[in-house]
Structure formats: structure tokens, C-alpha cells
């Protein structure tokens, strides 16, 4: 029997971007969008165009480039947001406009300060404005998980009558339990007279670690779209993870009445790309995409897997895109081989100049590290795009770090501030600490260091280290990234990248605040 289709709606670039410090540039969004398209994601929510001019441009660029997936933008239910969103998605081959308004008593009273009847009117107006741009309209009653069932039935019936073609039920604060959430979807579909005129969708947050379980319960009760993010990125504890939903449905086809179109071999590359761009690393024991997800440590398990893989594995690592690190390029590879590999990875550089700069970086890296893997190329391109952000106020020119047993570690560096080179030095508890202190001597940012983490990009001691630095200042949180075969240099680059982001003061609105 042919299975029904489960629509995969990816919101990594919208809800995922709402994670503190995860904001993405236009180029980064384009790279992620291409990977999502390659993975056959049905709907890509590319951003919230009213958030900032930068996000408007990013959504517009994604809408122009993506051809095989629907491109969606988010808008609060007001005329300005809806029109801004409508303009941003206009160029898409298949556009969708997603508008939302809160429906729980606490949100209506305390956040919106609106009466329930006004909320209904506003939702209907927003859908009516949206129809001037597209017929593909999604409506979400925000905080549905804590909303009154009768009220939800009233507003959703009106939303469908007004023209919403997808009704998305968000558990905005991750409060619901699988059984209750499944029943909510069942009841809404049963009670709303025109419920069959819309696709039912769910959007679950992970505050209680139940986002995936709640989404799966909803699918069992008739939801045919799931909103999710790569690596489960998203506000607070994140959203339902795309890879977990897709693989649960694919692996348990005996239990689910539907399946997705996802090319699962693109899952691990997508996970790596998103963690590389955002600096949100993936925990080793994360299902599907964690480094240990297919590693067997216990001898008894190893023995079993060698005899027959399915004794301990319910999925095949290669089906989700794990492969042995593949040597792709080396120091003798030429420009054409480099360019061809970037094309295979779906990376398009904006100009010949950007290609020349990336090729130079590649050659410098190949001098230090003989074997260059796909992951190295991804990191190199991320670095290249960081350097080309308009916001580059500080730039690392050179760094010397010294550590010796029994001696106090020391760093000396030359940093360009708005083009003027300055030399500074400092001692610290280690070479990284000394470098950060030296940078602070010049920048004096007063920012608080929230996170410092180092990961190998590939394996081996000659691997590049990828460093994430998270800084907070005046209520803003930014992530800085840096990669190098020398982790002290990678750390300094990541710190400077974060300082540049703080300096750029680019502000974006969060749709839900």
C-alpha cells in the first residue's frame, strides 16, 4: 500500500537562528539552503524578514536560489511583517508565507494584551494580507500547547476559511506530553468542520526533552507536516531534531502510516555544516549524528556487530551519511580540482576574487596539513565568509605563543583595528588565555566569556582545531568561530570573530519577544 507523504519543514534558519549566538549571514544561509535542498527537504523556512534588513536579504536570496523546495518566511500577524515577508519570498519558484499569533490565555493577556476575539480578527486579517502574495499560507496559533481547545477550534476554523492551507500547532514552550499532544491533534482534526481543507503540522520545542516524541505522537494522530531543525537547534532547548524524526519514521515503517522524501545520506553532511556555521557542536552521544552514534565500545557488542550488524544496529551508518574520512585533496591539487570539489559539496563562491582567496587559504592549509578532507574545505569556506563580512573591524595579523614547563605562558600578537596595526603581549594561565588577554589589552570589550570549546574537524593530531567562543555583552550573545591546525591561533581567530560580531551591533528582532 502506498504510504502517505510526511512533509518535512525545516526551520533551522529561522527558529534555529533564534538560539542565542546562532545568527547566520546571508552566505551562510545560502549554503545551508543548498544542503537542505540537496537533502530534499520539502519546505525551508529561511528566516523572519521583518527581523532586520539583513534577514530580509537572506530570505530573498534563498528564495531566488532554491528551486526544488518551497521557501517560506515567517511573519507576525501584522500588516508590516506580512508585507515584508511577502516581498522577500515573492521571487521563489514555490513560496510560502507563515504567519502566527499567540492563542494561550497567558500570551494573549500578558504579551499581546488583546481579547480573544481581537486575536481571531488579527489572524484573519494577516491571512488576508498574505493572500496578496501567495496561496500557500501557513498559520500557527503560538503556544497552542497551553491554549484552550474550544478557542483553538474557533480560531483555526476561521483561519482555514480565510485561506490558510497549512495549520501548524506549536508546543512553543515544550510543555506537552506525547499522549496529550497526540490527542490535541486528533481532537482538532475531529472537531473543526473544515479541518480536511488544510494540512496539519506540528512544531515542538524540547524543554522537557519531548520534542521528537510529541511530534511522532502527532504524526500517529494525523499530522502530515513536521517542523524540525538540523541537530535540534532552536530557541532554548531547541526544536524537534530533523534527523531523529526522519530516521524514526524511516526505520519504523512498520508503525508509521507515512514516509518522507528525505535523502537520508545527506543528514550527516547537513549536521556538520550547521554545527560548523553556528558553532553549536553536536554532543558525541546525540542520536544519528553524534560521533558515537554508530560506535560500538563494549566487547560483546563489537563481537555481535562483526557476526551480524543487525544484532546491535537498527540503522546503517552509511544510510545517514557517515563515511570514512575521504582524502579529497592535497598540496599538489590544482585550482580546478579544488573548484570541482567545492561544486560537489554544493559550495558556490560569489566571485572570482572569493575563489582566489579560498584557493590561497587551501594552499596555505595544504602546506601545514598534507591531507585535506571535505570537513576541512567546509571549515575553510566558513572562515572565508567570516572574513568577508562587512563587520570585520579587528583582524589577526600574527601571533606568537610560548609555553614551557615551569614558565608562565606568554602570547604576543599583532592585531589590526580598523586597519591600524597594534602590537600587544600578555601572560596567562595557558597560551590560549595569554592570547585572549593580549587581545583584551587592545579591544577592552568588557564582554563576558560564556563558552570556549575546541573540536577536531577531522581525526589525527594534524587535524584542524575548530574553536567556538561565545560572548555576552549588554544582553547580546554572539558566537565566534575559528579554525586552524594550531589551536592557539584557531582560538584567537574565534575570539576576534566574536568581538567583530559584537562590534557590528547588527540587531535583529526575535519574532516571539
Q: Which is nearer to ligand KIV, 32 or 345 (CB)?
A: 32
Nearest of 229, 236, 378, 363 to residue 289 by alpha carbon: 229
In the region spanning residues 10 to 69, those forming contacts with ligand KIV, defined by CB under 6 A, are 15
Is residue 100 involved in binding ligand KIV (CB under 6 A)?
yes
Alpha-carbon separation of residue 108 from 148, 184, 247, 428 (angstroms): 12, 20, 37, 52
What's the min distance (Å) between Cβ of 168 and ligand KIV?
Answer: 6
Is residue 384 involved in binding Zn ion (CB under 5 A)?
no
Q: What CA–CA distance (Å, rounded) separates 421 from 416?
A: 4
> Where on the phi/psi map is residue 364: left (φ > 0), alpha (ψ -120 to 50), or beta?
alpha
Q: What CA–CA distance (Å, rounded) separates 34 from 273?
A: 11
Is residue 143 involved in binding Zn ion (CB under 5 A)?
no
Q: Which is nearer to ligand KIV, 170 or 321 (CB)?
A: 170
**Are 226 and 10 contacting, i.e. CB atoms less than 8 angstroms apart?**
no
What's the min distance (Å) between Cβ of 227 and Zn ion?
Answer: 8
Three cell numbers written together for 96: 510560502
Q: Which is nearer to Zn ion, 15 or 466 (CB)?
A: 15
Residue 248 contact among ligand KIV, Zn ion, none, beta carbon within 5 to 8 Å by kind: none
Contact with Zn ion (CB under 5 A) among 7, 9, 15, 223: 15
What's the min distance (Å) between Cβ of 235 and ligand KIV?
Answer: 7
Contact with ligand KIV (CB under 6 A) among 17, 27, 55, 142: 142
Q: What CA–CA distance (Å, rounded) separates 269 from 249?
A: 20
Task: Please provide residue 287's backbone torsions phi and psi, each rounded to the nearest 5 degrees.
Answer: -55, 145
Binding pattern for the stretch 157-196 against ligand KIV, x by CB under 6 A and - elsewhere: -----------x-x-x------------------------
- Give the gyration radius of the chain's Cα atoms: 24
What's the min distance (Å) between Cβ of 242 and Zn ion?
Answer: 14
Q: What CA–CA distance (Å, rounded) separates 372 from 463?
A: 9
Helix then strand count (H, E) for the chain reads 16, 18
Is residue 142 involved in binding Zn ion (CB under 5 A)?
no
In the region spanning residues 205 to 224, those forming contacts with ligand KIV, defined by CB under 6 A, are 205
Count of residues that interact with ligand KIV, criterion CB under 6 A: 11
Please tell me whether residue 348 adopts helix, strand or coil conformation: coil
Residue 374 contact among Zn ion, ligand KIV, none, beta carbon within 5 to 8 Å by kind: none
Residue 465 contact among Zn ion, ligand KIV, none, beta carbon within 5 to 8 Å by kind: none
What's the min distance (Å) between Cβ of 125 and Zn ion?
Answer: 22
Q: What CA–CA distance (Å, rounded) separates 256 from 271?
A: 25
Is residue 140 involved in binding ligand KIV (CB under 6 A)?
yes
Binding pattern for the stretch 317-356 against ligand KIV, x by CB under 6 A and - elsewhere: ----------------------------------------
Name the pairing type of β-strands 4-5 and 43-47: unpaired
What number of other Cβ atoms are within 10 A of residue 94's Cβ? 17
Query: How many residues in total does the chain contain?
Result: 513
Interface residues toward Zn ion, by CB under 5 A: 15
Interface residues toward ligand KIV, by CB under 6 A: 15, 74, 100, 140, 142, 168, 170, 172, 203, 205, 511
Amino acid at each position: 500500500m502506498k504510504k502517505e507523504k510526511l512533509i518535512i519543514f525545516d526551520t533551522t534558519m529561522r527558529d534555529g537562528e533564534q538560539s542565542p549566538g546562532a545568527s547566520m549571514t546571508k552566505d551562510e544561509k545560502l549554503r545551508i539552503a543548498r544542503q537542505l535542498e540537496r537533502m530534499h527537504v520539502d519546505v525551508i523556512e529561511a528566516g523572519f524578514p521583518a527581523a532586520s534588513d539583513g534577514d530580509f536579504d537572506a530570505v530573498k536570496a534563498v528564495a531566488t536560489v532554491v528551486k526544488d523546495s518551497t521557501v517560506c518566511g515567517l511573519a507576525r500577524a501584522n500588516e508590516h511583517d506580512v508585507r515584508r515577508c511577502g516581498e522577500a519570498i515573492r521571487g521563489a519558484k514555490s513560496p510560502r508565507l507563515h504567519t502566527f499569533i499567540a492563542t494561550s490565555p497567558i500570551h494573549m493577556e500578558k504579551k499581546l494584551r488583546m481579547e480573544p476575539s481581537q486575536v481571531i480578527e488579527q489572524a484573519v486579517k494577516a491571512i488576508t494580507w498574505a493572500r496578496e502574495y501567495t496561496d500557500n499560507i501557513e498559520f500557527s496559533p503560538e503556544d497552542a500547547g497551553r491554549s484552550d481547545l474550544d478557542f483553538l477550534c474557533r480560531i483555526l476554523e476561521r483561519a482555514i476559511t480565510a485561506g490558510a492551507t497549512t495549520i501548524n500547532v506549536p508546543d512553543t514552550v515544550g510543555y506537552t506530553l506525547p499522549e496529550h499532544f497526540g490527542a490535541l491533534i486528533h481532537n482538532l482534526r475531529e472537531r473543526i468542520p473544515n479541518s480536511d481543507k488544510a494540512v496539519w503540522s506540528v512544531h515542538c520545542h524540547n524543554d522537557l526533552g519531548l520534542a521528537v516524541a510529541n511530534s511522532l505522537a502527532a504524526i500517529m494522530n494525523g499530522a502530515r507536516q513536521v517542523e524540525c531543525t538540523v541537530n535540534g537547534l532552536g530557541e532554548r532547548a531547541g526544536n524537534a531534531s530533523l534527523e531523529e524524526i526522519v530516521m524514526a519514521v524511516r526505520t519504523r515503517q512498520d508503525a508509521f502510516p507515512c514516509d518522507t522524501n528525505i535523502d537520508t545520506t545527506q543528514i550527516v553532511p547537513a549536521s556538520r555544516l550547521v554545527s560548523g556555521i553556528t558553532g553549536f557542536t553536536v554532543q558525541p552521544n546525540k542520536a544519528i549524528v553524534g560521533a558515537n552514534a554508530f560506535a560500538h565500545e563494549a566487547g560483546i557488542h563489537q563481537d555481535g556487530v562483526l557476526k551480524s550488524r543487525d544484532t546491535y544496529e537498527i540503522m546503517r551508518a552509511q544510510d545517514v551519511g557517515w563515511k570514512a574520512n575521504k582524502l579529497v585533496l592535497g598540496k599538489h591539487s590544482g585550482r580546478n580540482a579544488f573548484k570541482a570539489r567545492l561544486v560537489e559539496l554544493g559550495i558556490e563562491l560569489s566571485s572570482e576574487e572569493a575563489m582566489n582567496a579560498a584557493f590561497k587559504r587551501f594552499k596555505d592549509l595544504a602546506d601545514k596539513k598534507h591531507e585535506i578532507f571535505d570537513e576541512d574545505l567546509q571549515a575553510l569556506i566558513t572562515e572565508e565568509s567570516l572574513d568577508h563580512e562587512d563587520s570585520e573591524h579587528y583582524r589577526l595579523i600574527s601571533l606568537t605563543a610560548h609555553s614551557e614547563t615551569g614558565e608562565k605562558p606568554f602570547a604576543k600578537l599583532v592585531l589590526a583595528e580598523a586597519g591600524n596595526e597594534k602590537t600587544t603581549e600578555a601572560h596567562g594561565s595557558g597560551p590560549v588565555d595569554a592570547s585572549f588577554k593580549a587581545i583584551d589589552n587592545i579591544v577592552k570589550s568588557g564582554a563576558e566569556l560564556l563558552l570556549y570549546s575546541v573540536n577536531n574537524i577531522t581525526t589525527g593530531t594534524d587535524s584542524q582545531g575548530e574553536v567556538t567562543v561565545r560572548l555576552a555583552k549588554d544582553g547580546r550573545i554572539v558566537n565566534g568561530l575559528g579554525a586552524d591546525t594550531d589551536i592557539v591561533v584557531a582560538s584567537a581567530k574565534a575570539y576576534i570573530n566574536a568581538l567583530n560580531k559584537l562590534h557590528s551591533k547588527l540587531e535583529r528582532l526575535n519574532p516571539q519577544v
